[in-house]
Amino acid sequence: MQPIAVRRATIGDTDAIVRLWREMMDLHQEIEPAIWAMRTDAEEAFRMYLAQCLQDPDHMIAMAVRAEEPLGFIHAAKVQRPPVLEPPVEGIIHGCCVTRNARRQGIGCMLVAEATKWFREQSLTIARASWAINNPLSGPFWVAQGFRPYQVSGVCAVAVEADANSDQTTRLL
């Protein structure tokens, strides 16, 4: 079997990354359909976003491949923190996905190591990742990579209704 390699993504990897991203998003939609509902043009919108990120020095996208077969990707970025915090910038992992058939082979760990390497190259001392609580694979994976939960975010759907005066009112569902 060919070895797995992790390399920086190029614009030529766009189709493969979009397929992997779609697989990740489909999983999220299964977990929380109302929260992860996507626009009809989601793939095209992601493709345009990806093209911007691939050219932005504050973003790093890497691919895991075996004999050029795409197995996974990671998207890391350098972002500003609120102006009252030190350090002023931190690393964030926007997404990490390993295709279903290639999981449990250390590929996710390799991708996180590549992001961590990039964070060090950028002199970033803090890195964040977020994961869906209802995804049974995500939490244990990220904790095993050294990330720890530090903040809980909540989400709720808000219904918009027209009232008697035709103004809109909102209520929590």
Q: Hey, is 157 helix, strand or coil?
A: coil
Contact 28, 21 (CB under 8 A): no
Q: Three-state SS for 75?
A: strand
pLDDT of residue 150: 87
- Dist. CA 65–CA 110, nearest whole Å: 11
pLDDT confidence of 6, banded at 50, 70, 90? very high
Q: What is the mean pLDDT of residues 37-41?
A: 92
Between 136 and 116, the higher pLDDT residue:
116
Q: Which of 100-114, 124-138, 150-164 has the lowest mean pLDDT?
A: 150-164
- Write down the CATH number for the domain with range 4-172: 3.40.630.30
Residue 61: the pLDDT is 98
* Angle of CA points 124, 128, 132, to nearest 5°: 165
Helix 14-31 × helix 42-55 angle, to 10°: 130
Distance, CA of 160 to CA of 52 (rounded, Å): 34
Through-space distance between the first and last CA atoms of the chain, rounded to whole angstroms:
51
